[in-house]
Amino acid sequence: MKKTVSHVAAYALFIAFAFIIILPLIWMIITGFKTNQELFLSPFSLPEQWKWENYVDAWNQGIGIYLSNSVIITVGATVLSTFVSCLAAYPLARLNFRSKKLWIYVILGGLMLAPQSSVISLFKMVKIAGLYDTRTSLILIDAAFRIPFAAFLIMTFYKSISYSLDESAYIDGATTWQIFGKIIVPLSKPIIASCAIVSFRAVWNELMFANIMLQSTDKKTVPVGLMNFQGMTTTNWTLVVASMVIASLPLVIAFLLLQKQFVRGLTAGSVKG
Amino acid sequence: MRKKNQRTVGLYLFPALFIVIVVLYLPIFINLYESFFSWGAMTTKHEFVGLANYIKMFKDEVFYVALKNNVIFMVTSVVFQIGISLIIANVLECKFMRRTQNFFRSIYFVPSLLMVTVVGIAFKMIVSPSIGVLNPLLELAGADASKIDLLGNAGSATYAIAAMSQWQYIGYTVILFIVAIQNIPGELYEAADIDGANAVKKFFYITVPEIKDTILINTIITVTGSIREYDEVFVTTNGGPGYATETLATYLYKAGFRNDQMGYASALAFFIFIVTFIIGLAQMKGYRLDDQQ
């Protein structure tokens, strides 16, 4: 009896919490269909007419451009960081050489460096290099900050692959590149995918560097673009909300489709190597 | 070791090392150097001032406000994203919850997929006295909401932003803890059942000790995240009203990019570096790099 009561109480709490999580999201979706007037005057009611135009307008007013910038930068930084991490993790995990430990510390030590403490110098460096207001600068910076974690994840996985595979390949006369490309990488596909997803999420949401390194409107990413939308003097709030819904869809859909890889990538880093 | 092998190792390592050293390490040294100068991006002045920027920092009232706010973020984040989220994960792993676990954990996780910009702007609108729904709701419940402006009042603003951040990220750590708990061998719990241990005892004597590495690493990540805190404040209040919600990172941004006191901003940046670096050393320990040979 006591058990049932506590079970019911637990369920009640979890359902209540689910409502706290989900109501603001529903509010967002509904508000995206309202007129500005309805937003001010009748905050709780459903829109009298569901204004699909808000979403179309949001797209035309720039969210489309911001999205394509975000895709370019995120894909660029994700591919770059995952690729170089795959490479670097190989000797660190599976070859023996004298300076190995030093390089492991150098790469993973990057985990300790807060982007906030490099932002001033990076701004200066980017200006001197003539890369200010280019997507290249953002791709490089975002990729760099993903490398330590990505290399750590991939390295941990490489180590779990049986060494007898390499040895028999060596005996058959394979080079390290062949072993890397034909054995290690194909076997590591799941962790590489997870790693790419986690990096994608981080770069997609990145705000500070995107805000500082890019200046022209047609290069801005979604997070910065949304800030500009709501900063305008006569803010069209429902349009802003519609833009926010559009901006959120890609990752939410990706999560629903790739939940397993998502969770693996997130958890691999928090469980000890 | 053969020469050829050495070159191969170099080829594998070079791209990652080059990017990491140039983009992650070099700026830290440049930053330290620049923090001894008074300079700006808009002026040509570049004058050596020794420790003046650091002295200014430790005498700066706003620096301490920012520090206090970072601590507020840290404490709330550890309480919610470690403490409460661990309890949620544990209950979701109970037998009677298993069937609905996937449903709850997916819902709780969704906010962490959204951009901070999206969550921040939505939150700003929801709690706004003019266009929001929170104040009308409170009035419906019979409260006098005329003086409530969560983000507009200095007294409540920091806590409101911290609360928003918990809403967004609690589901994230719930999933991390669930996976960790699932890795605990089932026999441990069966043995405890035979001994007649109740759920609370099992939680403290089996679950927590078994996943302490995960707890430790997540705590460190949460703590460093709070010291780096920038996005949420930048989106919602940008440090205001006045300096009430400033954090170290938003203050450094303002000093550098708004007031063009790049030298002073560099000093603030170096302070963030030192604090996160020390905590990060503990994180490296947690990852057990020493075992890796």
What is the full DSSP assignment across B61-130?
HHHHHHHHHHHHHHHHHIIIIIIIHHHHHHHHTSGGGHHHHHHHHHHHHGGGGS-HHHHHHHHHHHH-TT
What is the per-residue pLDDT for B147? 78
A241 to chain B: nearest residue by CA? B122
DSSP A173: T
Q: Where are the domains of chain A?
A: 64-268
Gap between the Cα atoms of A8 and A245, Å rounded: 34
pLDDT tens digits, one per residue of B89-114? 999 988 888 888 889 998 999 999 99
Please give the full DSSP string across A252-265, using - where no structure is assigned: HHHHHHSHHHHHHH
DSSP A48: S
DSSP A46: P
A252 to chain B: nearest residue by CA? B113
Q: Which residues of A touch B174 (CB under 8 A)?
A: none
Gap between the Cα atoms of A188 and A124, Å rounded: 38
pLDDT tens digits, one per residue of B120-129? 999 999 998 8
Chain-chain contact of A113 with B280 (C-beta, under 8 angstroms):
yes
DSSP A145: H
Chain-chain contact of A237 with B179 (C-beta, under 8 angstroms):
no
- From the list A79, A63, A75, A65, the residue with the least C-alpha distance to A219 is A65
What is the per-residue pLDDT for A141? 96
- From the list B78, B10, B286, the residue with the least C-alpha distance to A90 is B10
Compute CA distances B38 → A120, A248, B26, B154, B184, whole Å. 13, 42, 20, 31, 55
pLDDT tens digits, one per residue of B78-89? 999 999 999 999
A122 to chain B: nearest residue by CA? B27
Strand partners, B37: B48
- Return the residue matching tokens 């707890």: B215
Chain-chain contact of A111 with B283 (C-beta, under 8 angstroms):
yes
Are B158 and B77 spatial neighbours (Cβ–Cβ below 8 Å)?
A: no
Return the H-helix or E-strand segment holding A36: helix A36-41
Domains within chain B, CATH numbers bracketed:
37-291 (1.10.3720.10)
Are B189 and B216 spatial neighbours (Cβ–Cβ below 8 Å)?
A: no
Q: Which residues of A touch B179 (CB under 8 A)?
A: 263, 267, 271
Smallest Cα distance from A104 to chain B, Å: 8
What is the per-residue pLDDT for B288? 60
Chain-chain contact of B133 with A97 (C-beta, under 8 angstroms):
no
Chain-chain contact of A97 with B280 (C-beta, under 8 angstroms):
no
Interface of A with B in 90-119 (CB under 8 A): 90-92, 95, 97-98, 101, 103-119
Architecture of domain A64-268: Orthogonal Bundle (1.10)
pLDDT tens digits, one per residue of B174-183? 998 998 899 8
Chain-chain contact of A112 with B248 (C-beta, under 8 angstroms):
no
Compute CA distances B239 → A212, A222, B159, B246, whole Å. 17, 22, 13, 4
- Considering only CB atoms, A120 lies closest to which of B13, B133, B256, namely B256
Token pair for A6: 């506590």
Smallest Cα distance from B221 to chain A, Å: 9
Per-residue pLDDT of chain A (273 residues; tens, 9 = 90+): 677 888 898 899 999 999 999 999 999 988 888 888 787 777 777 887 788 888 888 888 778 899 999 999 999 999 999 999 999 999 999 888 888 889 999 998 888 888 999 999 999 999 999 999 999 999 999 999 999 989 988 998 898 888 888 888 888 888 888 889 988 999 999 889 888 988 998 999 999 999 999 988 889 999 999 988 876 656 788 888 899 999 999 888 888 888 877 777 777 765 433
Chain-chain contact of B180 with A271 (C-beta, under 8 angstroms):
yes
Smallest Cα distance from A55 to chain B, Å: 15
pLDDT tens digits, one per residue of B127-139? 988 888 888 888 8
Q: Which residues of B touch A87 (CB under 8 A)?
A: 11-13, 15-16
Chain-chain contact of A101 with B293 (C-beta, under 8 angstroms):
yes
pLDDT tens digits, one per residue of B199-241? 888 899 999 998 888 888 888 889 989 999 999 999 999 998 9
Q: A100: number of CA atoms within 13 Å, CB side?
A: 17
Token pair for B270: 């170096």
Size of interface A-B (CB pairs under 8 A): 288
The pTM for the full model equals 0.90
What is the per-residue pLDDT for B289? 52
Higher pLDDT, B58 or A58: B58
Letter for the amino acid at B152? G
Smallest Cα distance from B259 to chain A, Å: 13
- From the list B72, B58, B113, the residue with the least C-alpha distance to B233 is B72
Interface of A with B in 51-70 (CB under 8 A): none
State the average pLDDT over residues B257-278: 93
How does the average pLDDT of chain B come out, rounded? 89
Chain-chain contact of A101 with B288 (C-beta, under 8 angstroms):
no
pLDDT tens digits, one per residue of B282-291? 777 766 654 4
Q: Which residues of A touch B264 (CB under 8 A)?
A: none
A156 to chain B: nearest residue by CA? B292
β B37-39/B46-48 pair status: antiparallel
Q: B293: number of CA atoms within 13 Å, CB side?
A: 3
Q: Which residues of B touch A214 (CB under 8 A)?
A: none
Chain-chain contact of B12 with A88 (C-beta, under 8 angstroms):
yes
- Considering only CB atoms, A255 lies closest to which of B19, B113, B249, namely B113
